[in-house]
Amino acid sequence: MELYTPKDIQELKILQDKVMNCPKCGGSDYTCECVKDYKFLHGMIMSAIPSKYRYADINNIQVATLKDSLKEIKNYVKHLEENKETGLGLYLYGTTGTGKSYVACYVLEQALQKGYSAFFCTVEQYKRALFDKDSDYIYNVNESDFTLIDDYGREFSDTKGFIDSQVDEMLRYRYDRNKSTIITSNILSKDIENLRIKSILYDAYIKLPFESVDYRKSLGGLNAKKSIR
Ligand SMILES: [Zn+2]
């Protein structure tokens, strides 16, 4: 799967020019902000984070129903190193339009900032990569320090909780290797019982509700450029 879009290449080029013309370092200091900015965007692209979720910031979100979940997430990020060691993950659940993916990308981006590897994939993309035998993509999903599985259970259609077993196998693979995974899902906490991976979810994930709110009405403080779902 191609990770760069033409727009990404263009945006990287702009940051690269900024590095070359940096008034502070002239492109010679790898610890300068200009280089960090370039590396961060490059990291987000290589991590397959969709452009609408890049530069996610949860500090401006003022939604009463999300207060507790966001507090937990800030705490999770604060202890990222320990969480990576223990393989603790996050299970963000709720209906669509509650900002789960945006918040989950915030966690991935914090991981990148701290020098960890991170990767974003939707269940659809993962299944396509398996079908295409895209070994690079599958490697990233399986082996990154932090992998985000977006939209787990979106195609969850039968009441027995059946979802493509290959996705569950991947989640088990990561669990067995103590790798932290972040899942966003519309399968609510009470319905986890029906899932094959329920023991994993109970053991290695903090489960956080994202209750239905109309973001456009309640998210006054959020940068309008950044979309929410
Ligand atoms: Zn510089």
Q: pTM of this prediction?
A: 0.87
**pLDDT exceeds cutoff 90 at 12:** yes
* pLDDT per position as a tens digit, 92-102: 999 887 899 99
Percentage of the residues of the chain whose pLDDT score is greater than 90: 70
Average pLDDT over residues 3-15: 94
Mean pLDDT computed over every residue of the chain = 88
Report the separation in Å between the CA atom of 5 and the middle of ligand 1, taken as the mean of its atom positions: 26
What's the pLDDT score for residue 95?
86
Report the separation in Å between the CA atom of 23 and the middle of ligand 1, taken as the mean of its atom positions: 7
Q: How far apart are CA 199 and CA 172, in angstroms?
A: 10
**pLDDT exceeds cutoff 80 at 47:** yes
Report the separation in Å between the CA atom of 144 and the middle of ligand 1, taken as the mean of its atom positions: 29
HSE-CB at 164 with a 13 A cutoff on CA atoms is 17
* pLDDT per position as a tens digit, 149-158: 999 985 654 4
Q: How far apart are CA 34 and CA 19, in angstroms?
A: 5
Q: How far is CA 126 from CA 18, 122, 148, in A?
A: 35, 6, 11
Rounded to the nearest 10 degrees, the angle between the axes of helix 135-143 and helix 165-176 is 50
Report the separation in Å between the CA atom of 51 and the middle of ligand 1, taken as the mean of its atom positions: 24
What beta strand segments (E) does the chain contain?
89-93, 118-122, 146-152, 180-185, 205-209
Q: How far apart are CA 36 and CA 186, in angstroms?
A: 35
**pLDDT exceeds cutoff 90 at 227:** no
What's the pLDDT score for residue 147?
98
Report the separation in Å between the CA atom of 16 and the middle of ligand 1, taken as the mean of its atom positions: 10
Average pLDDT over residues 12-28: 95
Report the separation in Å between the CA atom of 31 and the middle of ligand 1, taken as the mean of its atom positions: 8
For residue 186, which of 202, 163, 168 has the smallest C-alpha distance? 163
Average pLDDT over residues 62-69: 90
Q: How far is CA 173 from CA 40, 94, 179, in A?
A: 28, 25, 9
Confidence of residue 224 (pLDDT cuts 50, 70, 90): very low
Average pLDDT over residues 24-36: 94
**pLDDT exceeds cutoff 50 at 223:** no
**pLDDT exceeds cutoff 80 at 164:** no
